[in-house]
Structure 1
């Protein structure tokens, strides 16, 4: 019988992020009655009454009456493999143009199996380890992008994240240090609105300066727009891609939060021309996709397309009710922390105050490790996420992440009461 040595397997299989995710899932299954601030998942109430068949029918009607297909041709589009680039590119492109002022042709849009596949395809297309390419990321960083880089053996450089976005001086220094070592920063990954897990939002000034830096240092910017829709109405900022006049930005999005994650539909906007080939980077991503997932599920795309059409083809209309709920949840979480924790926990415990997104980051005077999480779950009935897995340099050992997206108002209140009891007894 074959027995595989761990050292014979890829190093990415032993990453701290994978181990932490596995532990969190295991703890949640063992304590089903605990209130969990751990999952960054959409609220389940939004899919309770979802009629998937109605969404598919709406998309089929669009194919017949607006795209010129016969009813039989329209149905076959959903039952066959379909183009690797996607079926709903036109709808996605129009929604981005209308709501985010991202004006690109539909050929520049590739529909992916969630944002995660989009990240993997973009990294595979851009990075050549033999050329000394490095990926810069804001630190702390979403584990999905660092995990994808690990799978592809792409070295990652962390740059501190500030309250107003990535540290531009730090990124400039990273570019300079890479050149001195005979390497280069090929691209920089950022979440411009309410990053996961840091919660920071890039200011308008930082957005402009990052694009200027990208031009000056000849790097590409990978913009993750997952949480942009949670911005309070009237406080929107233009995405990096909307400000991009030099085609430096590759924009990655997902319908997991504004529709539902089970559809597994995301997208990449990649309008960078490939010199001498009359092709866009999107064409190259679509070619790579043929040997990764072949295509994104046509049925999943039909559901998302139907949901968009039901809301006038507008991402803003599709996400409005969700944005309002997440704003209420976030405000309630911070209000509950402000009302409940002062006077009960040490003053060394603090938290940030994001204005959108799903997450609040808390600082403790002790390591927020899996051992402490086990006590929190077993003895106090409340779960959270250790932050260490999101840092490249171990700086987050004494931080935890609280997510408010999956909970109802009464659960947030009860969860904060339990969290306060846990902090007062175990930390105080």
Structure 2
């Protein structure tokens, strides 16, 4: 029993809550599994961890925060703001939809060939809040369905769970989501009397699998969305932390306003700012024929969730964007090269410690993403929590079970490795430890 409950009398009902009386999401296995991962990390601090999907700390300079904020304040003055205006912008509650929407819009034009009005942008507390707002706005009844790839980022499935949103998982193939499979799922849901409203995708170096959607699939997906009258929720936080020129975003290819684009500065500028955004330029018509943007509706919901995104955080992000003339690609060029090198180093080291002939004999294989933070290793044994504990305790290496990312059953023989947070030395030692673990588990399975 936890210390703070010691001595608590079961006869004191006012001091205890029944978990069964709380919302079912608090008992969701996904929440427990992520807590378990954190617990293992804390319990074995000397283990090398391929679990965190976070940026490398070496690119952060604390003094830069002040530089970024100062640059934004100077920008406000250059735009004609008075001393009182600047003070209010920093110290008071800001506009619910955000105060740096124009700067984000300029960045999207400069970097992503996406021309949308500033009014269609809502600045959020990370992309996670954007997911919550979009789902709350789009899913209006128990028969509405959100389609997701399987495996899928737990942030969207967790948000869906909190909002009691019905999910339909579409199994991802080796090369990513198939539009044929997606269309089959849409038709099946419609046949059951349900309404597929939107499909969530991570087109570039997805979390957790690391796959990237091909140009052909992007075009097919947009056509499918128009034909079946659904929206695409595009989440792409890894495209500007990857080397090379990325494929166009779905939003830049969108001609029918079918794509709600979610963005995040957590990977590109710094995660502590907790600044993301949604581009929602879809038209919403009320019963009287009045037209607004979906962004306006998201802002209404946000006003009841977080009121507004931190002005200081927005200022820091805006200052960084202004310094790079909106080009996140330029701002992140060095980091993207580092992450690309880290991914290649991990693949080389895996190959050295588990060469082709050996892994074929063991039944081990992995994919080879061209960017992002993650890759997937398939193993012949069950990659579950007990195996993770053995890995940390006996071999000093931590990873993430892919089963965490499956909305339904699946992924029991797969592992996610994150390569972004480690130094080259840690990658080399960590993959050696990981290979020893895989060898040991494969022999005993």
TM-score normalised by L of structure 1: 0.97
Match in the other structure for 1:203: 214
Match in the other structure for 1:253: 263
Match in the other structure for 1:125: 137
| Contact 2:353–2:432 under 8 Å retained in 1 | yes
For residues 62 and 102 of structure 1, the distance between their equivalents in structure 2, rounded to whole angstroms, comes to 23
Match in the other structure for 1:57: 70
Deviation at 1:277, TM superposition (A): 2.5
Q: Of 82, 87, 111, which residue of structure 2 is paired with 1:70?
A: 82
For residues 60 and 163 of structure 1, the distance between their equivalents in structure 2, rounded to whole angstroms, comes to 48
For residues 144 and 395 of structure 1, the distance between their equivalents in structure 2, rounded to whole angstroms, comes to 18
For residues 104 and 383 of structure 2, the distance between their equivalents in structure 1, rounded to whole angstroms, comes to 41
Which runs of 5 or more residues in structure 1 are unaligned?
Answer: none
Q: Of 70, 81, 96, which residue of structure 1 is paired with 2:108?
A: 96
Deviation at 1:49, TM superposition (A): 4.8
- Per-residue CA deviations over 1:290-325 (Å, capped at 9, x if unaligned) read 000000000000010111112122121122111111
Q: Of 184, 190, 196, which residue of structure 2 is paired with 1:173?
A: 184
| Contact 1:124–1:152 under 8 Å retained in 2 | yes
| Contact 1:359–1:403 under 8 Å retained in 2 | yes
Deviation at 1:232, TM superposition (A): 2.6
Match in the other structure for 1:158: 169
For residues 97 and 71 of structure 1, the distance between their equivalents in structure 2, rounded to whole angstroms, comes to 30
Match in the other structure for 2:412: 397
- Per-residue CA deviations over 1:18-48 (Å, capped at 9, x if unaligned) read 1111011111111111100000011011114
For residues 334 and 187 of structure 2, the distance between their equivalents in structure 1, rounded to whole angstroms, comes to 45
Give the secondary-structure state (helix, strand or coil) at the position aligned to 1:55: helix
Deviation at 1:278, TM superposition (A): 2.6
Superposition map of 1:220-259 within 5 A:
220-234=231-245, 236-259=246-269
Match in the other structure for 2:283: 273
Which runs of 5 or more residues in structure 2 are unaligned?
Answer: 1-11
Deviation at 1:10, TM superposition (A): 1.0
Deviation at 1:50, TM superposition (A): 4.3
| Contact 1:363–1:398 under 8 Å retained in 2 | yes
- Per-residue CA deviations over 1:175-200 (Å, capped at 9, x if unaligned) read 11111111111000000101100111
Q: Of 271, 281, 303, which residue of structure 1 is paired with 2:316?
A: 303
Give the secondary-structure state (helix, strand or coil) at the position aligned to 1:165: coil
Range 163-172 or range 104-113, more displaced = 163-172
- Per-residue CA deviations over 1:55-107 (Å, capped at 9, x if unaligned) read 11110000001x21013311220111100000111110010011101110000
For residues 371 and 187 of structure 1, the distance between their equivalents in structure 2, rounded to whole angstroms, comes to 36
| Contact 1:165–1:206 under 8 Å retained in 2 | no
Greater radius of gyration (CA): 2
For residues 68 and 241 of structure 2, the distance between their equivalents in structure 1, rounded to whole angstroms, comes to 23
Q: Does residue 80 of structure 1 match 2:92?
A: yes
Match in the other structure for 2:327: 314
Q: Of 160, 177, 193, which residue of structure 2 is paired with 1:182?
A: 193
Deviation at 1:394, TM superposition (A): 1.7
Superposition map of 1:401-416 within 5 A:
401-416=416-431
- Per-residue CA deviations over 1:145-193 (Å, capped at 9, x if unaligned) read 0000000000100012234431211111111111111111100000010
| Contact 2:50–2:419 under 8 Å retained in 1 | yes
- Per-residue CA deviations over 1:384-415 (Å, capped at 9, x if unaligned) read 00111101232201111000000010100000
Aligned residues: 425
RMSD: 1.2
Match in the other structure for 2:300: 287
For residues 82 and 76 of structure 2, the distance between their equivalents in structure 1, rounded to whole angstroms, comes to 8
Match in the other structure for 1:331: 344
Q: Does residue 264 of structure 1 match 2:269?
A: no
| Contact 1:96–1:315 under 8 Å retained in 2 | no
TM-score normalised by L of structure 2: 0.93
For residues 402 and 165 of structure 1, the distance between their equivalents in structure 2, rounded to whole angstroms, comes to 17
| Contact 1:129–1:153 under 8 Å retained in 2 | no
| Contact 2:46–2:396 under 8 Å retained in 1 | yes
Q: Of 147, 164, 170, which residue of structure 2 is paired with 1:136?
A: 147
